[in-house]
Amino acid sequence: MKTALILFSEGSEELEAVTVVNILRRGGVAVTLAGLSAGALRGSRGVLLTPDTTLDEALTHSYDMVVLPGGQPGTNYLKADARVLKLVQHMSAQGKYVAAICAAPSVLAAAGLLDGKRATCFPGALDAFPQVLQQHAAVVEDGKLITSRGPGTAMDFALVLVERLVGKAKRDEVEAGLVRG
């Protein structure tokens, strides 16, 4: 079974985190939602989420993919956490999927993963990183780096993640069950 680690901190965008967790689980992916700290965490819109585990505990396991939701100040907390930067660098070096949405692609850029790479983000989130080849699509893939624009693209983003981990047939099955049209 494929595995994914989703990170969550105080001030992360809960719509992005929950959408990704939900859709990956619908696709049969074993998902772990890890908090930067223990206990329930309040997202950027005031929703209280209780992660499955802490980041420290999650780091004792391996995953096929790591996903960073955006939101503020959550993205800033992810970017300031040395464990997060080391994790995304390590996952990328291992050829694993590294994905980020909304403002969180700036975490990947701060970790040096987006130098000369195509990426998208919430408008303005990557302006401090001129080395990133910014795109304006809902979801942008450059190798195993996957980025997306924001809350409104979370479902498209999550479906791409399902497809990359478990294939197009599973993505199509999950999408049909969502009754998007």
Q: Which residues are catalytic?
A: 102
Residue 110's contacts (CB-CB under 8 Å, 6 or more residues apart) are 79, 85, 129
The DSSP symbol for 65 reads E
For the chain, the maximum distance between any two Cα atoms, rounded to a whole number of angstroms, is 42
DSSP 3-state of 171: helix
CA–CA gap between residue 107 and residue 43 (Å, rounded): 18
How many residues are present in the chain?
181
Among 160, 164, 158, 168, residue whose Cα is nearest residue 25: 158
CA–CA gap between residue 135 and residue 127 (Å, rounded): 12
User: Is residue 103 within 8 Å of 44, Cβ to Cβ?
Assistant: no
First to last CA, the chain: 29
